[in-house]
């Protein structure tokens, strides 16, 4: 899981019934959004218009100002995911991470260019299933949220 508290807590809730202990991994930490931390998109669009336009045009090349680009997130997270899948070949594992980290990794598996990774829609607590078989990694399920039906926001 990501080392951020909300991810560790979620992983603990999911692991406890199986007697497992989550293992935090820095590679899964949420994207650093730099100077835009705590700001809403409307304010960013108004007060940092040039950087906003560059980011929206290509977040893989033009990352969050003073933060990470989608390419940088992918370059730290994807090798970790692939290593994890290789190490646990033939086993089921659960990874608790964050929207941008998951989005850029899944977009690469789906053949979606990183500059369009925002098009891969992921809900909070949505489940995606990735499978590695015969050396090939693929997405078997994307953003399932059936388990959230009837849960109040």
**For residue 95, with 0-12 CB atoms within 10 Å meaning exposed, 13-18 middle and 19 or more buried, which class applies?**
buried
For residues 131 and 101, the answer to whether their CB atoms sit within 8 Å is: no
Partners of 138 in the beta sheet?
131
For 27, 71, 96, 105, 144, the CA distances from 76, given in Å and listed in that order, are 6, 9, 16, 10, 25
Predicted pLDDT at 153: 56
Quote the strand ranges of 16-133, DSSP E. 127-133
Return phi, psi of residue 73, to 5°.
Answer: -65, -45
Tokens 């409307």, residue located? 42
Full pLDDT tens readout for the chain, 153 residues: 999 999 999 999 999 999 999 999 999 999 999 999 999 999 999 999 999 999 999 999 999 999 999 999 999 999 999 999 999 988 999 999 999 999 999 999 999 999 999 999 999 889 999 999 888 999 999 999 888 777 765
Helix (H, G, I), strand (E, B) or coil at 132: strand
Q: What is the pLDDT of residue 9?
A: 96
The torsion region of residue 134 among left (phi > 0), alpha (psi -120 to 50) and beta comes to left
């Amino acid at each position: 899981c990501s080392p951020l508290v909300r991810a560790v807590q979620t992983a603990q809730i999911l692991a406890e019934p199986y007697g497992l202990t989550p293992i935090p991994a820095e590679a899964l930490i949420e994207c650093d959004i730099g100077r835009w931390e705590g700001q809403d998109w409307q304010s960013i669009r108004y007060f940092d218009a040039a950087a906003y336009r560059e980011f929206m045009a290509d977040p893989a090349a033009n990352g969050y100002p003073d933060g990470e680009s989608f390419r940088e997130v992918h370059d730290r997270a994807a090798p970790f995911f692939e290593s994890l899948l290789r190490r646990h070949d033939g086993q089921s594992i659960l990874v608790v991470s964050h929207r941008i980290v998951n989005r850029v990794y899944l977009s690469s598996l789906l053949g979606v260019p990183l500059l369009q990774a925002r098009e891969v829609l992921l809900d909070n607590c949505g489940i995606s299933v990735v499978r590695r078989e015969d050396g090939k990694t693929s997405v078997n399920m994307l953003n399932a949220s059936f388990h959230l039906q009837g849960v109040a926001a």
